[in-house]
Every structure is written in structure tokens, then in C-alpha cells.
Chain A
């Protein structure tokens, strides 16, 4: 009743479709460049972990990952922290300009990164944050904060007002109520919001590359600069790619229960 005939076939085909290019990347990451260029093999005939070793030992490579993680974490923390009180406000109160404010926020989520590339470049250079993880973290706020507010507002709305009122009657101050009572109740919502913030910040390339040069170079920049250099080290590139997938896979593995619960709460 719930699903459709042939669902196993459809689902399997779809999942295979998704996994195939990833498998190919993983496959390639364990091959030597010689094998890659000379033959087409479905699994490495001369498997090697040299590509991975290179990345783990070469500072210009692994620093890329660390830099990326830095700004993603900073951004997620900032986005969630400022979004929480705002989400509460939008959910519980009407105030002057609230609808317009909400719309303005949403429109920023939808802003094309390309439009901001040059202005951000100027702005962050001017305030000396250029080439630091803070520049990228703040720049990504323009997308992630509205998204976080939007998601969290839905979850706060799912908490009945009576709980707030009871807490205030019991003598809770607003900050204490917020931290002790509200936040635990919307924990799965925070999980969903954090997941999306992490996701969008981790994957974004344009701004991350524009706002950094040497010190804070994210892994995406390291990889693309490798591509534009002469002589393609495919195995190395593939290994680098595989390593960028791992944090995402880990994150989703750990929040899978929150996501499932968040979905089940029917917010969307």
C-alpha cells in the first residue's frame, strides 16, 4: 500500500547509480598512476596506498583538510548560536517588520555566491580577515544562518507555548529556560540544522577559494589548484577526493537517528 510495484528494483538501480562513480573514485585512489593511465581495470591489480600516504605526510595536502574543517565548524557554531534566539522570536512573537525580515533572510539563502565573490574579496581584505578561516566562516553565514533559522523555527513551533509559560511561572529566567528546557526539546531539530549547515559549508567552493590564498587554503582549493597545474596526478586526486567524502559520511552516520526523528516529526 505504501510503496510501489518493483520498488526493490528501482531502489537498487538508483543506489547503484549513486554508488558507481564513488566506487570508481575509490578504485582509482588505490591505483598507481601507471596503472590508471595504461589499463582499464575494475579493481586495482597493483594496489597501493601511496596516494593516501602522500596526503597524510605532505603538509600542503593535509592542511587543506584541517583548514576546511576549521571554517566549517566555526560556521556551524556561529550559525546555530545566532539562529536559535531568532528562531524562537519568529516562532513565538509578532513584531514590527517580522515578515519582511524573514523574507530578507530567505532571499539571502538564495543569493548566488558568484555575486558575492568580488565584494567579499574586497571586504575581507579591507578588514584584514582575508586568508583566515573566519572570513570563509562569516561568508558562509549568509547562506547558513537563514537556513538554520528556517529549520529551527519549525521545530520551536512544534513545542507548545504552554511549556514556556509553565517554565516562566515556575520562576525560570529566560536564558535558563532557553538552555535548560527549550534546547533539549528541540535537540533533533538542532541536529538537522547543524547537519545542513555543515553540509553546505563543507561543500561550497567558490567563496572558500576566493577568500583564501595560502594560510587558510581549504582542501577544495588544494585539489583544484592541482588540477590546473601541468601533469595530472589522478591517483592523488582520487585519494584526496575520497578523503573529503569521509567527514560527510561520518557526520551523517552519527546524526542518522536525529535525522530520522526530525523527519518523523513532520516538520517539512
Chain B
């Protein structure tokens, strides 16, 4: 659709701008402020320039070490859950029934984990994994696996990962399902006529049509998993030790636990910057994909 140029559109956009700016810009300004200052306490601040940032990015300092350690944990976590959730989501979307009451039943069941408050998700798995009162913990231990997510690092990681898969795969599956539903029947009929095998139908028709939603799903999941806080916090608290302390947990510890404003602010900004860069990549790829589709409308 062609858009007309109209600067008065700013009036329509103004409410959104104000609401989000109020919530976003003002606090960010405080954060930037704090990131460049140090305090003697008693609300007396002095200029620290890029001191906090230097400390943050220097692995030999305590702050730097904690930052980089949590950064690797986040990257590892995001990679693993993407590698599980995306293929699993696609497979589940392909397994959905075509019509009838079973479709609604599946959609509702799949949506259920998505609607549970994140702390309850944590609570559910905290309980589920306990050897004394949880089904999973009990069963695993009774077949001799010695599972304990409180004291064992590997078990803690495994629990956090399975919990995230349980929590969010449905989102990927629902997005893929939406993409699949938009494929007109004629494509499948044509493929039948062309004698395509099941695999060929997947690679030639379904996967290309799901491209856009898969991109959205991958980027949403990457970013949300990169920012994860509540669920692992409730289950492991960041432990054992700090083996599951992700960046956000680290940040909250420093900001609200230690009230180390300068360090927290610097960490916040760097954290935010990483997210914005990924977001920018997301946005560029999406708008290019959109432009591509426009361009496809008329060469011969």
C-alpha cells in the first residue's frame, strides 16, 4: 500500500510517544547520570567519567569478572534454548490437526504455559524438581540419577533449560502455526500434482512461507532469553554459587541488593546496548524482507 506523506500524523503518534518516553527516557537519563558518577554517600556525587565502564569491561576487576562470566552464561543459555525450541516448535506446528474441536483444544493447552505469571512458572518447576515433594525429582532419583538442582550445577542448568523449553516452545509453535495456516490449499494441491515428496513439500512450500514468522520467533526468543530474570531466580536464586547467575540477576543484585548505583548503571547501559544492537539487526532484516516483497511485485 502506498503511504502518503503527512506530518500531521505526529498528532496520532503523540500519545504513544509521550507514554513510552515517560517510561523510557526519564529513567534512562537517570541511569546515564548515575553511570558517570560516584558517591561518598549522603547523596553527594562526584564525576567519575568512564571509570565505571572501564571497570566493567576489565575482566581482572571484580565487576568485570562478574560481568563477563554472566555474559557467557547468557550467551550459552540463549544458544541452547534456541537450538531446542525452534526445531521443536516447527515440529509441533506441523503436527497440529487441521480442523475440528481438537484445534482449539491444542491451541488452548499450548497457550497455557505462556499465561502463567513467571514467578509461578519458577514455583512450578521449583516444586516439580524437588526430590521430596516433586514428581520429577522423585522419579529421577528413584531410578538412581541423584538429581538435585540446589546443590548440583549441571542439574541446575538442566532444570533451567527444560523449564524455559516448557515455558516458551509454545510461542514458537503458535507463530509457526500462524505462518502455516496462511498457506492457501492450492499450493499443497499443486505440489501433489507435481508429485512432490513430503520432505519436498516442507522445504519448497512450508519452510519458505514460515520464514518471516521464524525470524520473528528466533529474535523474540533470543532477546527474551537474554533478558531472563524471574524464572531462574525463583528456582535456583542464581545458584548453586553463581552458576546460574545471568546478567539480569547480577544487575539486580548490584542495583537493588548492594545499591551500587554507579556500577549498576554502567552495567545497565552496556546490557541495554547489546540488546539495542541485536534489535537493530532484527529491524533491518525485517524491513529489508518487507522491501524485498514489495520489489517482487513487478519485474518480468
Interface residues in chain A, defined as those with a beta carbon under 8 Å from any beta carbon in chain B: 1-5, 7-8, 10-11, 14-15, 17-22, 24-25, 28, 36-37, 40, 68, 78, 81-83, 85-86, 88-96, 98-99, 101, 103, 105-108, 110-123, 138-139, 141-142, 145-146, 149, 157, 160-161, 199, 202-206, 210, 219-220, 223-224, 227, 234, 237-238, 241, 244-245, 248-249, 251-253, 256, 259-260, 263-264, 266-268
Contact = CB atoms under 8 A, between A and B. Distances in A.
Given A223-B120, A248-B116, A103 B138 contact: no
Contact of A245 (B4, B9, B115, B216): B115
Q: Label chain B's interface by main secondary structure.
A: helix
Given A1-B191, A3-B98, A18-B109, A114 B19 contact: no
Which 5 A-B pairs give the minimum distances between C-beta atoms? A248-B115, A119-B27, A266-B182, A7-B95, A89-B12
B67 interface: no
B154 interface: no
Contact of A4 (B12, B91, B178, B182): B91
Contacts of B269: 115
Given A18-B166, A21-B128, A92-B4, A249 B112 contact: yes
Contacts of B107: 252, 256, 259-260
Given A115-B251, A123-B30, A206-B252, A2 B188 contact: yes
Given A93-B4, A103-B280, A1 B192 contact: yes
Given A92-B4, A112-B271, A145-B19, A18 B114 contact: no
Contacts, number: 302
B177 interface: yes
B286 to A, nearest CB: 9
Name the interface size band of chain B. 35 or more
Contacts of B218: none
29 contacts: A1-B192, A3-B98, A11-B106, A15-B109, A15-B110, A19-B112, A20-B135, A21-B136, A24-B124, A25-B127, A40-B133, A85-B12, A92-B4, A93-B5, A94-B3, A106-B283, A110-B276, A112-B227, A114-B227, A114-B255, A116-B27, A120-B27, A138-B23, A202-B117, A219-B117, A220-B117, A223-B123, A245-B120, A263-B177
Contact of B132 (A37, A106, A264): A37
B228 to A, nearest CB: 9
A3 B95 contact: yes
Interface of B: 1-10, 12-13, 15-17, 19-20, 22-24, 26-28, 30-31, 88, 91-92, 94-98, 103-104, 106-120, 123-125, 127-128, 132-136, 138, 166, 169-170, 174-175, 177-182, 188, 191-192, 198, 201, 212-213, 216, 223, 226-227, 229-230, 234, 247-249, 251-252, 255-256, 261, 264, 268-269, 271-272, 275-276, 278-280, 282-283, 287
